């Protein structure tokens, strides 16, 4: 078995590991964070340390590690005014000032339509987090089979506190 201790010295290997870890193929291992050194360590058939330098990479990682579950049909209790990173906001359709004002007046989200979330596939991390952790429990008791891993949740809150957040 080959073990890669630090792939930073080898750009081709770093690119390969980054694509494997952050790309659509998923990972063979479990991520262990090292935010202080701006790296993620993946433990699996190979051990690799890769730079985790952009917010987009972090967002993609968190999206893959926040468990999904089916909400109560017709419920939008968690769809209120929320903040998100500038990167995630740039992926959402632009709403007018009037649409934002109406949503805020109603303590709602400008992307909430009569049939639910209009941006569900691109919804921000905070929206994905609702119901997956006891700290943001679903008011109707819905939840995934397995809640978010505590270390991932901790790093997600660190991400929220260290990135520019804007009102959706």
Residue 52: pLDDT above 80?
no
**Could you give the C-alpha distances from 27 to 43, 55, 68, 95, in angstroms and in order?**
9, 19, 18, 36
Q: What angle do CA 38, 26, 88 make, to 5 degrees?
A: 60
Give the pLDDT confidence score for residue 53 in this predicted structure. Answer: 59
Please tell me the distance from the alpha carbon of residue 8 to that of residue 5, in angstroms, as a whole number.
9
Give 63-103 pLDDT, tens digit per residue. Answer: 999 999 998 888 898 899 999 999 999 999 999 999 999 99
Main-chain dihedrals φ then ψ at residue 107, nearest 5 degrees: 50, 50
pTM: 0.68
48 or 165, which is more confident: 165
């Amino acid at each position: 078995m080959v073990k890669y201790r630090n792939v930073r010295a080898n750009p081709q290997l770093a690119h390969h590991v980054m694509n494997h870890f952050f790309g659509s193929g998923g990972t063979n291992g479990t991520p262990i964070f090292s935010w202080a050194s701006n790296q993620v360590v993946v433990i699996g058939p190979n051990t690799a340390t890769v730079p985790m330098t952009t917010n987009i990479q972090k967002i993609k990682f968190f999206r893959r590690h926040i468990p999904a579950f089916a909400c109560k049909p017709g419920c939008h209790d968690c769809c209120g005014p929320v903040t998100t990173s500038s990167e995630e906001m740039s992926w959402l359709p632009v709403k007018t000032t009037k649409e934002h004002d109406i949503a805020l007046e109603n303590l709602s989200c400008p992307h909430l339509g009569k049939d639910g979330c209009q941006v569900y596939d691109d919804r921000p991390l905070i929206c994905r987090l609702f119901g997956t952790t006891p700290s943001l429990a679903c008011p109707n008791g819905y939840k995934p089979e397995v809640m978010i891993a505590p270390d991932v949740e901790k790093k997600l809150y660190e991400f929220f506190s260290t990135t520019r957040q804007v009102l959706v």
